[in-house]
Amino acid sequence: MVYLLKLGELTLKGGNRGEFEKVLKRNLKALLKGAAAEIRVTNGRYFVDVPEECVKQAENAFSRLFGITGWASTRVCEKTVDAMLAACIAEARVLEQKDVKTFKIEARRTDKSFPLDSYGVMANAGRSVLESVPTLKVDVKTPSAVINVEIRERIYVYSNNVKGLRGLPVSVAGRGLLLLSGGIDSPVAGFLMAGRGMSIDAAHFHAYPFTSDEAQQKVAKLAEILGRYTIGVRLHIVRFTDVQMRIKERAPFPWATVLLRMAMMKASENIALQCKAKCLITGESLSQVASQTAENIACTQSVVATPILRPLIGMDKEAIIRISEKIGAYRTSILPYEDCCTLFSPKHPVLRGDVKEALSLFEKLDIAVLIERSVKERVVYRL
């Protein structure tokens, strides 16, 4: 089976395009590992030849590959008019079996030596399909299906174009460290940044024995789901029990969540430096919860110099849930296992914290050694 993959945004990259295509091909090979696939690249198209027994794996890989706008299984024929018309008729008969009623032909002629220009290809192919498959009718404005004809070194005919994830190939934008809480938002944030070309490490903070083993297993599953799109994820599991208890003992209770997030940011910055991540990534959405007001966000980021990316900041919950469902994370995210952010949450938290006050309270915790020890003793998994 031959598949045609259409490149997306990376075709606009000018002099850098070759590097982007090299990364895309490497990612595709990783997702197709074991499928005995052959990959060819030509003029903004990838052609992937896979044996019939590997078709399911290949299509699953294409659906998880950032950097392509779409893909389709393709008929390949010799570069003659008769062969092209026969392939179009065969494709039309498949559409007829699917109860398709209307169609149109779209043509792209890269090889200008072909005897028909693009309009000639469309006219002749359309006429042949109408004569051979009379149940189909032409509708150039709103057809039920489109038969595509691409004339290159050979002729490619297809009609089953499937939309891809678009975006940029994972790793062209370096590495980011995702704060993975176990809820709905953070896996979506990681997915969106992967779509901008970022490789993902993830850090999860737990407070065992106050948080359960099931909560950690839930996070590992979310990291695994995310890794299907990011060519793997390194998950850093950080025990934060001592840090959290110090906050509970020494801080004003309404400040507990903000101060905990400040400590997490500090620990995450240390991890990011060690794993060569260029930024931190969070699932914060403005005003969704008390710790995510503009003022409290300013407090939590005040202890770090590393850039913090928040791809969900202007999204509402319904939009975030739709993406969570799309990537297969939602059912895992809603499992009822508490993380350490909710463990000691104050009933009446600070809503609009002052940065100077937050920094003063944070300094009084005398928490640097505890954070350093938590980072040093973290456990790292490759998922």
pLDDT value for 22: 92
| Residue 346: cis peptide before it, omega within 30 degrees of 0 | no
pTM: 0.93
Residues in the chain with pLDDT < 70?
Answer: 338-344
Query: Does residue 96 fall inside a structural domain?
Result: yes
Looking at the structure of the chain, the number of domains it has is: 2
Q: Please check whether residues 141 and 206 belong to one and the same domain.
A: no
Q: Please check whether residues 93 and 184 belong to one and the same domain.
A: no
Calpha distance 327→338 (Å, rounded) = 22
Q: Please check whether residues 157 and 259 belong to one and the same domain.
A: no
Query: Does residue 38 fall inside a structural domain?
Result: yes
Q: Please check whether residues 156 and 239 belong to one and the same domain.
A: no
Q: Please check whether residues 85 and 190 belong to one and the same domain.
A: no
Question: CATH code at 26?
Answer: 3.30.2130.30
**Residue in 303, 313, 304 with CA at minimum distance from that of residue 283:** 313
Query: Does residue 134 fall inside a structural domain?
Result: yes
Query: 238-258 pLDDT, tens per residue?
Result: 999 999 999 999 999 999 999
Query: Does residue 169 fall inside a structural domain?
Result: no
Query: Does residue 170 fall inside a structural domain?
Result: no
Ramachandran assignment for 326, one of left (phi > 0), alpha (psi -120 to 50 degrees), beta (any other): alpha
Domain C-terminal end among 137, 163, 189? 163
Q: Provide the token pair at 272.
A: 């990011």
Q: Please check whether residues 229 and 360 belong to one and the same domain.
A: yes
pLDDT value for 117: 96
Q: Please check whether residues 79 and 121 belong to one and the same domain.
A: yes
pLDDT value for 209: 80
Question: CATH code at 212?
Answer: 3.40.50.620
| Angle separating helix axes 256-274 and 355-364, nearest 10 degrees | 80
> Which residues form the domain of 154?
2-163
Q: Provide the token pair at 312.
A: 């969900």
pLDDT value for 347: 83
The Cβ-side half-sphere exposure at 200, using a 13 Å CA radius, reads 37
Q: Please check whether residues 13 and 158 belong to one and the same domain.
A: yes
